[in-house]
Every structure is written in C-alpha cells, then in structure tokens.
Chains A and B, each alone.
Chain A
C-alpha cells in the first residue's frame, strides 16, 4: 500500500448522506451483519473492503433494500438517507431504488438494445416528456458512463454484444440515467480485465462529482486508488472506518492491519 495517491486524495468536509445505526442482518438463523453503524458522506467514494463472506455486499444491499427480494433476510436497526428512515413502513423500495442506483458484480445489461438499456429507467420513472428528451437523457447518461464515443453509432445494437468492460460501463450509464443520489457498486470490476478496470475506476472518480458512491471491492489497491473513505468488514462486523489513507497506512485495529498486510482473508 505504498501508493502515493492515497496521501494525495483530498477529503473535503461534506454532508452526511447515509447514516446507519446498529444494523443487524439475519439470513434465517445466520447473523450476517452485526451492529454496523456508519456515516457515509455525500460526494465521496466510500469503499467497503474485507475478506469473502464478511458481509460487505450484504450491507451494501441493505442500502437500497435489495435484500427485500430474499425471503429469509431480516434487517433491523436504522438506515437513514437524508435523515429519512429507508426501512420505514411508508417507504416503497421502488422509489428508494430510483434514488439509490446500483451496479452489480457481473455486467448485466438487459437483452435489449444499448439505447433501451439506458432508456428503461427514465421511461418507467417518467423522466422524459418526449422522444427528444429521452434521447438527451440517454446521451447524457452514456457520456457520464464514459461509453458514448464507443456506442454512439450503434445505439440500436444489442447491449449483450459489447465487451465486458463496455457492458459494465453501460450498466453504470443505466444506473446514472435515473439521476440517483447514491450509487452503490458491488465489486464492479471483478469480472473485468485490467484495462477495463482502469477505465471504470477513472469513471468512478468522475462520478464522485455528482453522487455519493459506495463501492464494495476485493482489491485493496482498488480501494486505495478510488476511495476517500474506507470501511473494513470482518466476520459481519465493521472493524474500522476512516480516511482511506489512514486505514492503509496506520490502521488502528490489529485485524485491519493483518488483512491489508495479507495475513487474513
């Protein structure tokens, strides 16, 4: 972790976007997340790192209630976005997910055209008044996904036909098309080659201007490169949370140190 960039990534003082308190997650009898409390800042990239099965993806999926789709999953505690409890009975997860977009581990474009992939979200949320509006939204999203130049001539060809890295950027474009406020990324680069990874990481850094980005990653180098804040998860506990530079250079907890030096995980 001798990357010089760590020290250079600057942290502005920003507002708290997501605030979680005493979050517990159970899969049936399995206590997957224990007592996690964390404040995630706006316009910041927050990385969740930790060994496999430590609960970082589970916790990420709590933030847009994707865990609701799993019958046996039970979440307690409070998660507030902009000071509103997202597990309140009045909250419709559909509305929440429009506000908290998500990019998945494996690129999962719909088996439709590139255009329709991006336009789907805005269409179902009624963001466009007419075709021209929608064209604008699609172009803007694809530009923000840093993929516009590669696909602008073949918007009607299937999204499946793109390369893995392009597919993932298409998925990012699809996620930002609905103008979310938070973007969750679940190991977005684990299925990509190093060049595509570099492109996506660059993109994540740009997205920070507009969103609060939460990224789960297996790669500590990646966390160091893209994030300003890092949380280390181990066996369902959040062990340590702090500035990325501090976590990687002077970890407070011995478990964090063991993990980043490669002794556990």
Chain B
C-alpha cells in the first residue's frame, strides 16, 4: 500500500445509462441467444426436409394402379376332367391361368373399341405377374365358380404403375424389355375409359414381401408381424429381468467393488454397438443353441440383450427418484425391505419404468444391424403366421430390415416402397414415444 497507487476517482454514474461493461455483457447474451436460435432453426429445417422427403417419396407406395377386368373362368382350361376335384384343379399352375387373362384383356380392348397393334400375349404385360396367382387363389377357394365370368381388380405391373406416377416415361423405357410404348398407349386408352386407375393400396400395409419381378405386390404386413413378435419377446423378457435386476442392484445389493463393476458394465453395455449383440446372438442362440435362423424369437432374444441396459438404467434412475422418506416411512411402521420396495417404492417408480421400457422397445423396433447377422434381413417372403409358435419360430423379417432390403434392390419401384415403409416405422415410433410421454405426464406424482 504505497502512496503511488492513487485511488481513481469514482465517477458519478446514472442508472439510466448503460455503462460499457453492461453493454458488452448484453451483447454477449444476445449473441448467445442468436446462436441458439440458429442451431434450433437449422435443426427444424433439417427435420422438415426429412419429413417432406419421406412423405413425398413414400406416399406413392400407398397408391397403386389397378386394372378392372372380367375374367371368364373357362372350365376347359381349369378343370379338364370336369369333376370339380380340388386336387385336379390344383394341378393347373399359374401358367395355365395366363391365357384367361389375355383373353379377358383382349375382350376388354375389343369391347371398348381401343385400337392397338399389340397381340393379346403382349397386352398381359401391363398386368402384374401376381395377377394369375390372384385368379388361381380365387378359383381354389371357390371351385364352384368355374365356368362363370368374374370381375377382378388386378395390380398393374410396376412399370405401368410408375408411368401413372410419373416415374416412368416414354423416353426412359428405351431399353426396357418389360414395357413398350405400345403398351403405354394401351394404358392411356384404358385409363381414359376408366378401367385402369390409381387408388389406395391396402395390401402395402397388410401384404408380404414380393420377389424382384413384382415390386407392385410387395407389402410391409408380414414384417410388421415379425417386428410385433420380436417386441413381444423383448417385452416378456427384458421388462421382468431388467426391473428385477435394477431393484436388486438399487435396493438390496451391498455397495462394494463388485456392484460398482456391474454398474460400470451396464452403463457401458448401453453404448455397445448393436451389431456386437448381433454377433453374440449368432454365436450363442444360433450356432450354440441351434435355434432356427431368421426367427423372430432369436431376433427378440438379441434385441432383449440390447434393450436390457436401457431398461435397467432408466429403472434405477426412477427408483432413485423415489424420496427416501417413503422408504423410511415404510420401514418405520415395520415393513420389511421387500414390502417397502414392492408396496411403496415400485408403484411410485412405475411410470418412469414404463417410460424407459417403451423407449427401449422403440429403440429395439428400429434396430437393423443385429438382425443382419441372424438372417432376418433378406428376401423372406413368408405368409402371415397362423399361430404364435409359427410366428415366433418361422422365418420372418422385421420392419427396418424390410426397408433396408427394399432400399438395396435395383428396381426404383422398390425405393418408393422403402420410403413408404419408413413412414409406417416412424408412425410406430412416434406413437410409442407419445405413449411414453403421456404415461409420464399422467402418473407424475407429487409427494
């Protein structure tokens, strides 16, 4: 404290005027707010681009071109012996039905007075390859209708469908063997007459995957069932195991280095790449335990392993959030440890546990990587399962795996379906997360 240091004279300041320091502080705050708003605006922009893209590209999958025809089920072709014996009718393959279709199409063209150079055989090219199977299925279910003329609505081939949706044009089909300009002329004519039109395609939501040659017939339905059975396995296994493990770790286990190690490992497991769980599932469930390939049961087991850490972490967090005074109160009236947990702590933690479980399930629902390794990704054209056992054990795909499968096929008609599948998947995820939020809001308690 020397005399050299002179105390600066304090200036009289007014509250009505900002001093320099305050101005810099305010400027810094404004800048920070601006950065935040830019970040959020960027995020929202990206989100809206994503949603816009998905919806515009995917919406096409929900519309499909159908052609209405009256097909005469010629007895001479379908039931040569004339005894309506189902076994004999079954001997006629889909190839045997194709002439019926070309006859029907030709008759239609003549009836409507459409001018075309196409032969009947070529005309059939505008119908989906699934059309013959559709007629055959109908005949096998209704053998007594043989000989009558029945109205059908057939899927148009994917090229015709693409033409109506603007994906295929006369220029783009120069090298395409599947469709010719003459066929497109026929399509235009049929469309003008109203017997060929786009409409809502329920079978995209309910149907099963189809081979490369007929993208128009492919649907998400069976893979949705596959996902459903996997989620069932995950729920049945991961919820009780996860909740029991967390209750034990949180309420009963002594706090020592062993439980510390377990705790660290659980946190780490939550961050392990999901494909690692896929390899584990391949090694343990398929190679060692010999469970069937591609089965939703195995997929569910793998996803259970993946979901367990999520459920355990969220359950422990919600158990921790229950105030200790409730435990004290229960112990104070002479409840045992277990009674205090099950009568008082668990009911209070239940909303948090449920929310964690739903979020874990939603995560598992969207998981593709582990399914690659257990054979649930690929062309699995199975029919909807007829019982719970076949649902669990017979080969099936899952929603994200189906989307991946479509996205990697060559035909652009499948892209549209991949985007459409993403819409279904997102609807499921948003629904599940909304349920989680509603549950949390509804059961949030004050204590």
Contact = CB atoms under 8 A, between A and B. Distances in A.
Interface of A: 64, 66, 69, 71, 94-95, 97-98, 101-104, 106, 108-111, 120-121, 124-125, 160, 171, 174-175, 177-178
Contacts of A101: 332-334
Contacts, number: 67
B348 interface: yes
20 contacts: A66-B332, A94-B336, A97-B332, A98-B333, A101-B332, A101-B334, A102-B328, A104-B325, A104-B328, A108-B325, A108-B326, A108-B328, A108-B329, A109-B329, A110-B330, A111-B348, A111-B445, A171-B329, A175-B332, A178-B334
Contacts of A108: 323, 325-326, 328-329
The 5 A-B pairs with the shortest beta carbon distances in the complex, nearest first, are A98-B334, A121-B333, A108-B325, A102-B332, A97-B334
A160 B323 CA distance: 14
B325 A125 contact: no
B398 to A, nearest CB: 40
B343 interface: yes
A94 B336 CA distance: 6
Nearest to A125: B334
Contacts of A97: 331-334
Nearest to B347: A111
Contacts of B336: 94
B447 A111 contact: yes
A71 B254 contact: yes
A174 to B, nearest CB: 6
Given A71-B255, A111-B445, A160-B447, A120 B325 contact: no
A111 B327 CA distance: 12
Interface of B: 254-255, 323, 325-336, 339, 343-344, 348, 445-447
B334 A121 contact: yes
Contacts of A106: 325
Given A101-B332, A108-B323, A178-B333, 17 more contacts: A64-B332, A66-B332, A69-B331, A97-B332, A97-B334, A101-B333, A102-B332, A104-B325, A104-B328, A104-B332, A108-B328, A109-B329, A110-B326, A111-B447, A120-B330, A124-B339, A174-B333
Nearest to A122: B333
Nearest to B322: A111
A125 B332 CA distance: 13
Contacts of B330: 110, 120
A102 B323 CA distance: 17
Nearest to B325: A108
A108 to B, nearest CB: 4
B446 to A, nearest CB: 7
* Most B-side CB within 10 Å, residue of A71, A98, A124, A174: A124
A144 to B, nearest CB: 15
A95 B331 CA distance: 10
Given A104-B328, A108-B328, A110-B326, A120 B255 contact: no
